[in-house]
Structures are given as C-alpha cells and as structure tokens.
Structure 1
Amino acid sequence: MRVREAMTRDVAIINAEENLQQAARMMAVMDTGILPVGDEGRLVGMLSDRDIAVRAVAGGKGPDTKVRDVMSSEVMYCFDDQEIEDVTDNMGDIQVRRLPVLNRDKELVGIISLGDIALTDGSGAATALRGIARPSAQHNPGGA
C-alpha cells in the first residue's frame, strides 16, 4: 500500500512569520498537535505543541514570538508514492510519529501519522511505535 492511500490530506500550513498565539489557536481549532510551516510556498519546518511548550514557554518566550523562532527546521518527510512499510520502518528509525507527505514536485500533499497507519496496517504501526518508544541517545547517553 502506498502512503497516498492512508495519509490525511486536509492539512493546514502556518506561515513562518505568524506568531505562536496564532499557531496555538490553529492547532486548537484543528485538534492537532503539529503544523507544517511554510514560507513563500516551501515547507521550511514543523511546529508541534511540544515545540511551543519546551522551546517557547519554558524558554520564557511569549505569544508574539514568531513560529520561525521555535519550529523544528530539520524536516523529515516522505513521498506520497512510497510504500507504507518503508515509511513506517523509517518513522521507527528516526523516532517520529508523524511525517509530512510530499509529491515528487516537493509540494505538501498530506501528513501520515501512526494513527493513519494503524487504520490500514496495525502491525506496521506497532513496529514503528517500538522504534519510536526506545530511548534516544539524548535520553540514554550511556547507551544502555
């Protein structure tokens, strides 16, 4: 099965120059914990509710802080024509629960989440979750 068959297509994008209050409101209305960030038609980052809590609020930044200042700029993504099995393996390896989905012209066409995958392939979601749930080097510096 291809990613395009399981992904969520209705994706809102927030501009990198918008502020965190606007982003949080958008997340609340859409009932989501993550937003793709765009700038001049390009995907330039992802903003999660965790980014807002940890990078902004915990760091003393206010609601007028620009999305650009707290977003994750290293964007991992997949393509809509990739096999779900390959993508779930990758999600486990890089320890993410959601990935933006691009077409081959590198335009954002959706988001794939573990929930989307679970609805189509429960075993694939379980495999990815095992990889995601393992302690990363940041949380397990000794390696054991």
Structure 2
Amino acid sequence: MKVSDCMADDVRIIGPERSLQEAAQAMAEIDAGVLPVAEGDRLVGVITDRDIAIRAVARGLPPTTEIGKVMSAEVRYCFSDDDSEDVLENMGDIQVRRLPVLNRDKRLVGIVSITDLAAQGEAMLAGEALGAIGQPSALHSQSL
C-alpha cells in the first residue's frame, strides 16, 4: 500500500513567525498534536504539543513566543508514493509517530501517522514500529 492511500490530506500549516498560542489554538481546532511549519511553500519544521510543553511552557516562555524559536527544525518526511511498510520501518528507526508527506516535487500534500497506517491493514508492522519508537534513545532531545 502507498502512503497516499492512508494519509490525511487536509493538513493545516503554520508559519514560524506565528505565536505558540496560535499554534496551540490551531491544534485544538483540528484535534491534532502536530503542525507542519512552512515559509512560503517550503517546509522548515514541525511544531508539536510536546515542543510547546517542554521547550516553551517548562522554560517559562510566553505564549507570544514565535514558533520558530521552539519548533523541531530537522524535518523528517516521506513521499506520497512510498510503500507503507517502508515508512513504518523508517518511523521505528527514527522514532517518530507522524511524518509530513511530500510529493516528488517536495510539496507538502499530507501527513501520515502510525495510527493511519495501522488502520489500513498494517497493524502488525505498526506495532513493531511503535515498539521501536518507545525505546529509550537520544534521537529526540527536547533540549535546544
């Protein structure tokens, strides 16, 4: 199965100059824990609810702080025509639960979660990936 068969294609993006409060409000509106961050048509990062909690709130930063100051700037992604099994294996390797989905022109076309992939028949592989994601690792430090 291809990623395009199970990804969410109604992705909301936000700019790095927008505030943490705006990001949190957008996440609440769409009931999601992640927003891709873009400058123009270029993906420059992602902001997660965890980024807001650990990198901002825990440090006492105000809600007016720009997203660009706390977002995860290392963008991991997959392509819409990638095979879902390969993407799940990659998610386990890089220990992420969600990935922005790009077309081959590197334009954002969606977002895929481990849950999306599991719901489309990849439950066993999703379980293996989730097991790898849950392992202690220094891959994703919340320190800036």
Interval containing the TM-score (normalised by the shorter chain): over 0.9
Partner of 1:73: 73
Partner of 1:46: 46
Matches of 2:115 and 2:38, distance apart in 1:
24
Deviates more, 1:118-127 or 1:20-29: 118-127
Partner of 1:130: 131
Partner of 2:91: 91
Deviations 1:19-51 (A, max 9, x none): 011111000010000000011211000000000
Q: Which amino acid aligns with 1:49?
A: D
Matches of 2:78 and 2:28, distance apart in 1:
26
Matches of 1:39 and 1:21, distance apart in 2:
18
CA RMSD of aligned residues (A): 1.2
Partner of 1:12: 12
- The reply on whether 1:108 has 2:120 as its aligned counterpart is no
Deviations 1:82-103 (A, max 9, x none): 0000000000000000000000
**TM norm structure 1:** 0.93
Matches of 2:17 and 2:32, distance apart in 1:
20
- Cα distance change on mapping 1:41 and 1:128 into 2, 3 Å: same
Query: Structure 2: any 5+ residue segments left out of the alignment?
Result: none
Partner of 1:28: 28
- The reply on whether 1:58 has 2:58 as its aligned counterpart is yes
Identical-residue share of aligned pairs (%): 57
Matches of 1:60 and 1:13, distance apart in 2:
25
Report deviation, 1:138. 6.6
Query: Structure 1: any 5+ residue segments left out of the alignment?
Result: 140-144
Three-state SS of the structure 2 residue aligned to 1:15 is coil
